[in-house]
Structure 1
Amino acid sequence: MSAAWNPRASEEGETPPRPELSNWGRWGEDDEAGAANLLSPEVLLAALTLPRSGEVVQLSQVIGDPKAPRNGAPPQHFMLHDAGDYLAGAKAPSGFQTAVDHLSWATHGSVTHLDALGHVWYDDQMFNGYDHRAARSNGLRRLGIDKAPPFIGRGVLIDIAKTKGVTRLDPGYEVTAADIEEALQSAGEALQAGDCVLIRTGWITAWESDDVRYHGDRPGIGLDAAEYLARHDVALVGADNSGVEVIPWAPGTVCPVHQFLIRDCGIYLLEFLDLEELSRRDATAFLFIASPLRIRGGTGSPIAPVAVL
């Protein structure tokens, strides 16, 4: 989710009720890891048996690539030390020369990233009942991305676009629980506790052909699908769009899926994925590996997840 968004909610209809489901207190009153607790040693060891070919598929976008979708300003990349310094007379002790750079980006707008559990909240309370005043000007005192462990477990690709026989879903298409069940049945898979679920809408392909359209209405999951995934005890939900959830939002709501999955359930959201190669390989279940940067109090982290087939 990015502050650069300018999405809209539908103007007609009634506001849907928020699902009556919460993981508050489930892993203790002081817990800050949320659904990542489901990634037990047993889940990890079972996932290690999944690879067959040993092939690794990158699931992140290349930071700074102009072909990579984004919301807001692109990442800024500056060289602090390069060949020009030596050409201008900088010394090279014992012939040693080096290049050093600096990167700057909006975590939630321009890179493949994982949302921290302190990223969103409502009614002045964050996940597990933490007071929203834990979000301070120098970072999150609670639920920062540094509290998220590495995600090593079973990844499941839910390829909605392929199941529907399209390159990408239509703008504003809401992926439902029925859609997820249809895709799982087509792939011969069933969800398990601790799964890292990746939903392919194909929307990444809209960026290169029409970046203006990309930032308009977009396909994604709604509360119906979010509740389905939460009740199946998934640890993480990722997607190949900019915010996982469908735009426009349901009437009278703002980021309802973020609010429900992150704040109520402690389930992590992974955004701006590239799932095209995974889809081309007809992948279904695989070893999923992703580790966020341990940024103290960070609201999210750039991340480079991989699937091992």
Structure 2
Amino acid sequence: MNIQQLKKSVPDFWNSFRKNGDEEKGVSCSGGLAALYRKELADHLNSKRFFIIFMLLLVVTTASLGGALSNIREAVEESSDFIFLKLFTTSGSAIYSFATFMAFLGPLAGITLGFDAVSNERSQGTLNRLAAQPIYRDSIINAKFLAGSTVIFLTVFMLGFYISGMGLMLIGIPPSGEEVLRIFAFLLFTWVYISFWLALSIIFSVVCKHAATAALASMSIWLFLSLFMSLVASAVANSLFPTSGIAGFANISSNYSATLALNRISPYYLFSEAATTILNPNVRSIGMVTMSQLSGAIAGPLPFSQSLLLVWPHLVLMIALVIAGFAIAYIAFMKQEIRA
């Protein structure tokens, strides 16, 4: 090999080595997470299940918007401030408001997206093939949660923009800057709230062998926390601090505090309380208010920053619940043995 051939071959060898090294580095850094994320996201968006749940939420949103528009005149007569926010909080004569519907039906979207995330792969025999690929094992569970959370984010904000756009066209009153901030904060709370139910359903999908079992377990917890938790909280508080009889008057404050603390175990109650505070600036407190605290207080709506301070613990707690739920699913999945 002469000098000219040696000079020509060295750059080619170096470029080939650098290309292979970059590809190996890219695979090791991402661990296949980006590819799995795109695959899971495409599966969700192209599935009939997502289409059905999205259409259900769209129909419910349209019905709640119609109910709000039918009673918007009565709501404006009570208070002419923050008219645009009333599109999200005003209920019709036979229909709930959008915020109420999202509190109750929102978890259904999260459960639908996650109840068979792992169990379906296991039952079809594709989980072992997926784990045999040159990817990190935790990329599988990470991609499934991130893709489901992305779909929830897109769905929530699309519905929020749909109500805002239709309301702007029909009532002709643009929202103020503070109303835009409150709507955005409400949609963000909704996304975190539904993501908790996604994480919970993924836990059962990892633990349970069958998707039907995971779905039933997730829906049972959803119905209990949404419908029956308030009854249980009241019963426990009344047994600990009875309000009947002569000594009952002294237990009113303790009874209320115990009921409130037990209710706040439920993400449904946390979200409902936070949504009411964010979307209604006239809410000045979320706990018991004594007469001494009311003395000298000036009635009026709170600014957005003060409302956000009231519900900041709710947001932190809901984010903590999402992280804890995903951490449980992550640990359970990583400890499982995947067999062919």
Q: Same fold (TM over 0.5)?
A: no
Structure holding more strand per residue: 1
Superposition TM-score tier, normalisation by shorter sequence: under 0.3
Q: Which protein is bigger by CA-based radius of gyration? A: 2
Q: Which has the higher contact order (CA 8 A, sep 6+)?
A: 1
TM-score by length of 1: 0.24
TM-score normalized with structure 2 length: 0.23
